[in-house]
Amino acid sequence: MRLHGIRLLWLCLFATVTAINAETTNSASSTCNSPIYCEGPLLRTVQLARLFPDSKTFVDMPTKEPLKQVLDAFDAIGGENASHESIVSFVDTYFDQPGSELIQYSVEKQNPPEWLNDVHDPIYRGWLEKLSDEWRDLAFEFDTSKLCDGCVTSALPVKRPFVIPGGRFREFYYWDTYFVIRGLLLSDLNELAKDMIENLLDFVDTYGFMRKSQPPLLTEMVKIYVEKTGDESFLYKSLPILDKEYTYWLTNTTVQLDKKHSLNRYDVHNASPRPESYSEDYEVANDPTEPLNDTERHELYSNLASGAESGWDYTSRWTKTKQITNNDPNTILRQLNTRNIIPVDLNAMLWSIENTLSEWHSAPLEKQYYQRQASKRLAAMDQYLWNPEHHAFFDYNITGQQQNIEFTPAGMVPFWLGSVPDRAFKSLPKVFDYVIEALRQDPGILTTSEFNTTMQWDWPNGWPPLQYITMRAIMNVDYWIRHDFHNASQIKYDEEKGLDHDRTSEFIQLARIMGERYAASSFCSWYNTGGSLPGLLERLTSDTEDNGHMFEKFNVQNMGSAGSGGEYTVQVGFGWTNGVALWIFNTFSDIKAPNCTSTFSYPV
CB 521 within 8 A of CB 444: yes
**Angstrom distance (rounded) from CA 33 to CA 280:** 22
Residue 400 found at the interface with ligand NAG (CB under 6 A):
yes
Question: Which are the catalytic amino acids?
Answer: 313, 552
Asked whether position 27 contacts ligand NAG by CB under 6 A, the answer is yes
Give 190 or 254: the residue with its C-beta nearer to ligand NAG.
254
Question: How many residues interact with ligand NAG (rule CB under 6 A)?
Answer: 36
List binders of ligand NAG among 323-342 (CB under 6 A).
337, 341
Question: Quick one: which of 2, 29, 80, 441 contacts ligand NAG (CB under 6 A)?
Answer: 80
Nearer to ligand NAG, 278 or 451 (CB): 451
Q: Is residue 278 within 8 Å of 46, Cβ to Cβ?
A: no
Q: Quote the least distance from Cβ 575 to ligand NAG, whole Å.
A: 26
Query: What sign does the CA torsion over 580, 583, 587, 593 have?
Result: positive
Q: In this structure, what DSSP letter does residue 341 have?
A: E
Rounded Cα distance between 604 and 591, Å, is: 16
Residue 601 as a binder of ligand NAG (CB under 6 A): the answer is no
Task: Specify the residue, 78 or 388, whose C-beta has the smaller distance to ligand NAG.
Answer: 78
Does residue 290 touch ligand NAG according to CB under 6 A? Answer: no
**Interface map 202-241 toward ligand NAG (x if CB under 6 A):** -------x--------------------------------
Establish if 598 lies at the interface with ligand NAG (CB under 6 A): yes
- The answer to the question of residue 391 lying near ligand NAG (CB under 6 A) is no
Applying CB under 6 A, which part among 13-21, 47-55, 383-391, 411-419 lies near ligand NAG? 13-21
Q: ∠262-264-266 over CA atoms, to 5°? A: 155
| 223 CB-near residues (< 8 Å, 6+ apart) | 356, 493, 494
Q: Is 180 left (phi over 0), alpha (psi -120 to 50) or beta?
A: alpha
Instruction: Kindly indicate which of the ranges 20-28, 45-53, 130-138, 275-283 contains the residues binding ligand NAG, using the contact rule CB under 6 A.
Output: 20-28
**Closer residue to ligand NAG (CB): 76 or 436:** 76
- 69 is an interface residue for ligand NAG by CB under 6 A: no
Q: Considering beta carbons, is residue 422 or 494 the nearer one to ligand NAG?
A: 422
Please give the single-letter amino acid code of residue 313. D
CA distance 264 to 250: 7
Does 296 sit near ligand NAG (CB under 6 A)? yes
- Residue 506 CB neighbour total at 10 angstroms: 12
Using CB under 6 A, pick the residue from 262, 286, 404, 558 that binds ligand NAG. Answer: 404
* Residue-wise DSSP of 501-533: --TTSHHHHHHHHHHHHHHHHHHHHHHHTT--B
Residue 295 binds ligand NAG, judged by CB under 6 A? yes
84/459 Cα distance (integer angstroms): 39
Signed CA dihedral, 301, 306, 312, 316: sign only:
negative
Question: How far is CA 595 from its chain centroid?
Answer: 31
- Of all residues in this chain, which one has the CB nearest to ligand NAG in the complex? 400
Task: Candidates 452, 509, 558, 589: give the one binding ligand NAG (CB under 6 A).
Answer: 452
The amino acid occupying position 22 is A
Task: Please tell me the distance from the alpha carbon of residue 173 to that of residue 199, in angstroms, as a whole number.
Answer: 11
Which one among 50, 64, 228, 320 touches ligand NAG, defined by CB under 6 A?
320
Contact between 443 and 604 (Cβ < 8 Å): no
Distance CA 285, CA 48 (A): 13
Task: Name the residue nearer to ligand NAG (CB basis): 371 or 509.
Answer: 371
CB distance 448 to 459 below 8 Å: yes
Question: What is the smallest separation between the CB atom of 460 and ligand NAG, expressed in angstroms?
Answer: 5
Q: How far apart are CA 518 and CA 522, in angstroms?
A: 6
E-strand stretches of 114-165 = 139-142, 155-158, 162-163
Q: Closest separation between CB of residue 149 and ligand NAG, Å?
A: 28
Smallest separation (angstroms) from ligand NAG to the CB of 284: 16
Per-position x/- string for 347-366, each x denoting binding to ligand NAG as judged by CB under 6 A, each - no binding: --------------------
For residues 145 and 4, give the distance between their C-alpha atoms in angstroms, rounded to a whole number: 10
- Least separation in angstroms between residue 295's CB and ligand NAG is 4
Q: Which of 83, 247, 399, 547 binds ligand NAG (CB under 6 A)?
A: 399
Is cis: bond before 314, omega within 30 of 0? Answer: yes
CB of 489 to ligand NAG, least distance (A): 4
Side chain identity, residue 18? T
Our CB check for ligand NAG shows the closer of 85 and 296 to be 296
The residue within the footprint of ligand NAG, chosen from 24, 206, 387, 589 (CB under 6 A), is 24
Q: Is residue 31 within 8 Å of residue 207, measured between CB atoms?
A: yes
Position 486 contacts ligand NAG (CB under 6 A):
yes
Q: For ligand NAG, which is the closer residue by CB, 452 or 505?
A: 452
Stretch of 79-87, 128-136, 138-146, 504-512 contacting ligand NAG, by CB under 6 A: 79-87
Nearest-approach distance from CB 185 to ligand NAG, in angstroms? 30
- Of the candidates 401, 435, 400, 402, the one whose C-alpha atom is nearest the C-alpha of residue 416 is 435
81 binds ligand NAG (CB under 6 A): yes
Q: Which of 104, 247, 490, 547 binds ligand NAG (CB under 6 A)?
A: 490
Give the amino acid at 367: K
User: Min. distance of Cβ 563 from ligand NAG in angstroms?
Assistant: 11
Nearer to ligand NAG, 14 or 94 (CB): 14
Write the CB contacts of 402 (distance below 8 Å, at least 6 apart in sequence): 396
Rounded-to-integer distance, Cα 57 and Cα 77, Å: 22
Q: What beta strand segments (E) does 36-113 contain?
A: 102-104
Point out which residues bind ligand NAG (CB under 6 A): 14, 17-18, 23-24, 27, 78-81, 209, 251-252, 293-296, 318-320, 337, 341, 397, 399-400, 404, 452, 454, 460, 486-487, 489-490, 595, 597-598
